[in-house]
Amino acid sequence: MTVEPTPYSLPAEAGAYRRALGAFATGVCVITADTAEGPLGITVNSFTSVSLEPRLILWCLDEQSERWPVFAAAERFAVHVLAAEDEAEARRFARGVCRLEPEEFTRSPDGTPRLHRAAAWFDCATHDRLPLGDHMVIVGRVEAFEAEDRPVLTFHRGRYGRLGDAQ
C-alpha cells in the first residue's frame, strides 16, 4: 500500500506508517541517566552511529514519554545494546518510569549508571539536542565503550528476535 504524506495524518494512515516502519529490523537498546531520585532507564530502537571521528552516536526520544524531562535534560547517559537473552529488560524499560535497582548497575568513572548486562555499552556526554517532529534527537559524544561477541536482541514488525547466533 502506498500512502502519500499529508500535513495532517489520519489515525489509519498513522497506523499504516508505523507498520511500514516496522519492516525495518533494529537492535534494542536501553539508555540510562541519573535523576535526583536515582537512575532511570528507557528502551529505544532508534540508536545509530553518526561519526567515527569524533565518536558520535544518536538516539531519539519521544516527546510524549513520561521520562522526557530526565533524558531531554541529561548531560550524560549510557547506551546499552541488549543481548539476545535480555528481552525481559527491554520490555521492562519500554513502559512507565523505570528506576534502576542498586543490584542492576554500577557507576562509570564519571558517575553515569551502567547496566551490568549488555552486549555493548557506550558512556556518552550530550553533544547536541535537536527537536524534530514529535521527537528529540539526542547526539552523544562517546567517551568510553566496550563490547562482547554475543547474540543481540532485535525488534521487527512488533516482535523481539535475536541476531548473531552461530550458523
* CATH numbers and ranges of domains, the chain: 26-156 (2.30.110.10)
Q: What is the mean pLDDT of residues 17-21?
A: 84
pTM: 0.87
CA angle 22, 145, 86 (to 5 degrees): 45
- Cα–Cα separations (whole angstroms), residue 90 to 17, 75, 123: 23, 23, 19
Per residue in 79-120, pLDDT tens? 999 999 999 999 999 987 789 999 999 999 999 999 998 999
Q: CB neighbours (10 Å) of residue 137? A: 16
Note whether 142 and 56 are within 8 A (CB). Answer: yes
